[in-house]
Amino acid sequence: MNNYVEVYHAAAAETKVEITDKKVTIHGLRFENNHSSAVYVQLFNAPSSAVTVGTTVATRTYLLPASSVTQIEPRRFLEYFDKGVTIACTSSRTNATAPGAAATCTVWFSKN
């Protein structure tokens, strides 16, 4: 048995989604891109109030090829986010431009 909390969000455009504003350890990630163009998912070690998409540097950025699923299984990925977790979906690695469609994101984490 584990103590993961599983959170689903559809991140779109420059819309930022706060998963939590607490200290957490991320155990795994899953991103689904059902669009015909690649998108980028940016993860920030910050609450959403501290994130300006396109200006704030992401802690991690993941390229999602067109029509793909990217998954990092729980127990194969551990990363400590001490300020919270906010995600955004964009059309390039560092901008705030809306992608053609949202990516569905799943984050497995435990509160510290």
CA–CA separation, 17 and 51 (whole Å): 10
| Euclidean distance between CA atoms 62 and 83, whole angstroms | 20
pTM over 0.85? The answer is: yes
Tens of pLDDT, residue by residue, the chain (112 residues): 466 676 766 655 567 889 899 999 998 899 999 889 999 999 999 999 999 999 999 999 999 999 999 998 877 778 999 999 999 989 999 988 888 887 888 888 888 8
Residue pair 26/14 in contact (Cβ under 8 Å)? The answer is no
Apex 73 CA angle, 87 and 17, nearest 5:
10
Distance, in Å, from the CA atom of 52 to the CA atom of 79, rounded to the nearest integer, reads 22
CATH topology of domain 5-111: Jelly Rolls (2.60.120)
What are the residue boundaries of the structural domains of the chain, listed by start? 5-111
